Structure 1
Amino acid sequence: MTSLDNHIRIPGYRIIRQIGEGGMSVVYLAYQESLKREVALKIMRPVIADESNVVKRFKQEAEIIAKLYHPNIVSIYDVGSVDENTLFYAMPYLQHGDLTGFAYHNDEELIAVMTGLCQGFAYAHAQGVVHRDIKPENILFDQFGNVKIADFGIALSSGRRRFTKDQRIVGSIHYLSPEQARSKHVDARSDIYGLGAILYEVLTGKPVFDAADDLGVMMAHVDSPIPRLPSRVAHWQDIIDRCLAKSPNQRFQSMQALQQAIEAVTPKVNQGRVRRLKAWPYLLVSLLMLVIMSAWWFWPVEQDRNADLVIQQSAEQKPDTHKQPVDDSAGQQAQTAPIQALDAVSNPEP
């Protein structure tokens, strides 16, 4: 837990617990009182103390992100600041993991995930928004297994791997494009490089470049040749080569072009379903809860019906004491006639 926990108060939100922390922010599970829902509340903490316009820049970027309505982009519910040094934004609470938990076993499923990412990034690029900080932790899954891109453009304060003071290096080291590493102009093709680095890591289980320190990794992005994929996944090599080209002009020029290349891959690996399709347990639990609730709702009704049926049957079997009495005088006379005749024979009149 952080020192923020002792005093942080965001009007309109009730903080439940901390669910994440980074060099520039803390993420809380919170309850939005106005709409009565759980949200993820990310509280940004400026690290560069002398950057007086950090709040303004954060709000401007957050307003842009809030306009990105797309099925593969995590939306922002609310954005604001409590004071000059405490910024926050609220977003959906997605608790079904991120790409770090994605296990590659199936080309078709990987193609589906990558296609969703390309579509989300293409939409953002069309709105003039470049992510600049692509990494597996920023690629989330919802309860249905759909992929969601998070943290668009929110890179205003720095951790060790985020900013330098004047020449800003924006991005996470292992997914940093060469132009980002050199503090050059960044455009949508930097996101293509970052997505290619993620694809390489998913396919191999290790980062495309690694070194003893951050500087070594950055230099590898700039100078080192693109590594070869293992033979098992070599059918992805052409896409990796074009995503990770050192020059932006030699990469795919748009996310749409990358998507077309990914969809053209002939699936060769099929060792079962991957993590993305594991939304079915949640659906099964929901169905079970529905059955339980239905039984709970209709059980008293059925009990009442059974009770009414028993009462009705009992009433039908019980004699009706209110019926009119039957006139049985003729029958009684028929029964007493032989007795009267016998008395007459035994006692003749004088």
Structure 2
Amino acid sequence: MALRLPGYRITERLGKGGMAHVFLATQNSFERQVAIKILSPTLSMEPRFAEQFMREARTVASLNHPHIVPVYDVGEHEGYHYLSMEYVTGGSLKARIRNGMSESDSEAVLRQLASALNYAGEHHFIHRDVKPDNILFRADGSALLMDFGIASSMLNDATQNKGRQMGTPKYMSPEQHRAQPLTPQSDLYSLGCVFYEMLTGEPPFKGADPSAMAVAHLREPVPLLPVRLRHYQPLLRALLAKDPADRPENGNKVITMLDALEPPAAHYSKERSSYRPQQQANSTPLAPRLRLKETPLGLSWRGKQYQYDVYLVADDFEHFQDHFPVLRSALLDWHAQRGSRCKAVTVKATLHPWISGRVKQYLRDLRKTDGLEFMSAIPVSVNLVAADGEPIERFVLEPEKAGKEDA
């Protein structure tokens, strides 16, 4: 090949990223295969990019952890800035997610990455771009955290990176989207996004563009997992907390929380037994359904006022979640049409008592989702009823402007 670097025999090109090309090469001194990352020639002429590239090299070279890619050599030759690192042959996490991952594999990767981020945090580094593309596997299946190209030193870069929004929007923490100062908890938020994607095959938040993605991360509630995965919900709720202070303090704490999770059967039994265990064996299956209706409330000086009535039936919490897209769309349309004349919402839900607590919290969070903020300014009356018609709970989510929320 035309490209030559002292001490290496470059054999083939492996890929290209936003700033650099990656080649497979043999390091002559050890006769071992390595991956060489070379800054794009056009960017090499820009001092800022060359400096950032070399900072990545110095960052990774200073870290020694089994789940952070090791850097062997750093240098510059005839205008080419390069680093050589371990050649990894086991593929990417992105490909594994696409093919489907088991819960045990997802947990194993989470442990390894949490350990790596704990080590990086202890050495005052924040990765800032934790995502499936930046996680590769060795042939033995162990995971490696790659690409510290935009890593930040908490000791040296606080002023330099102030106000700069860096990362991949799909996995960025709320504080990253706001271009605020970061802590290691920002990487743990991104790790939570990756863990959710390993479990479900989909990212936790979606948006048509970076702006919509930012809104989702800033305002959407933590998504709820399918029933079979519900035992992971407490851990995800902590990792994806909007406030960094509510997240685990470090990667080791993530591992501790994972170890402390109840097994699926125990979690489901505990949830079901929280209300009248004697009825569980004879619970009648409920056919999920949703009915929506607008009701006139009378006249004001602005014209007619309206209430929106929601009737739903859910056999389990996953079925309740399935109603959300239709319900959200209907409420958005209602507010778009009626505006300030939307005065109240009522919800009557027929469901099994053991999911009532989660339904209650979900309805609270519903008022904070993008586009439905108007619901926080009007009363939302909720009536939860068991399958046999017996009342479970009635409560009113009072308008926030009234300064209280009655539970």
TM-score higher than 0.5 here?
yes
**Equivalent position to 2:86, from 79, 86, 92:** 92
Whether 2:208 is the aligned partner of 1:212: answer yes
Determine helix, strand or coil for the equivalent of 1:102: helix
Q: Which moved more, 1:222-231 or 1:102-111?
A: 102-111
Contact map agreement 2:103 2:199 (CA 8 A) in 1 = no
Aligned to 1:236: 232
Aligned to 2:276: none
Distance 1:49 1:27, change over 3 A: closer
**Equivalent position to 1:73, from 68, 72, 77:** 68
Aligned to 1:252: 248
Contact map agreement 1:107 1:268 (CA 8 A) in 2 = no
TM-score by length of 2: 0.58
* Aligned AA (1:87): H
Distance 1:232 1:130, change over 3 A: same
Aligned to 1:135: 131
Which has the larger strand fraction?
2
Aligned to 1:111: 107
Aligned to 2:172: 176
Residue-by-residue CA offset, 1:149-198 (whole Å, 9 max, x unaligned): 11234469xxxxxxxx9943221121111111111101101100000000
Determine helix, strand or coil for the equivalent of 1:186: coil
Determine helix, strand or coil for the equivalent of 2:261: coil
Determine helix, strand or coil for the equivalent of 2:222: coil
Determine helix, strand or coil for the equivalent of 2:71: coil
Paired residues in the alignment total 255
The separation in 2 between residues aligned to 1:105 and 1:213, in whole angstroms, is: 27
Contact map agreement 2:127 2:151 (CA 8 A) in 1 = no
**Is the radius of gyration larger for structure 1 or structure 2?**
1
1:206, CA displacement in angstroms? 0.7
Aligned to 2:309: none
Whether 2:229 is the aligned partner of 1:227: answer no
Q: Which moved more, 1:26-35 or 1:39-48?
A: 39-48
Residue-by-residue CA offset, 1:96-145 (whole Å, 9 max, x unaligned): 11212335554333322211111111111111111111011211211211
Contact map agreement 2:101 2:199 (CA 8 A) in 1 = no
Residue-by-residue CA offset, 1:41-61 (whole Å, 9 max, x unaligned): 111238779953433343244
Q: Which moved more, 1:46-55 or 1:193-202?
A: 46-55
Aligned to 1:25: 20
Determine helix, strand or coil for the equivalent of 1:77: strand
Aligned to 1:64: 59
1:17, CA displacement in angstroms? 1.2
Aligned to 1:290: none
The separation in 1 between residues aligned to 2:13 and 2:44, in whole angstroms, is: 24
Distance 1:233 1:57, change over 3 A: same
* Aligned AA (2:139): Q
RMSD of aligned residue pairs (Cα, Å): 2.5
1:94, CA displacement in angstroms? 0.7
Aligned to 2:257: 261
* Aligned AA (1:134): V
Distance 1:241 1:48, change over 3 A: farther
Unpaired segments ≥5 residues, structure 2: 153-160, 266-407
Percent identity among equivalent residues?
38
Q: Which moved more, 1:113-122 or 1:99-108?
A: 99-108
Which has the larger helix fraction?
1
Distance 1:233 1:88, change over 3 A: same
1:147, CA displacement in angstroms? 1.6
Aligned to 1:102: 96
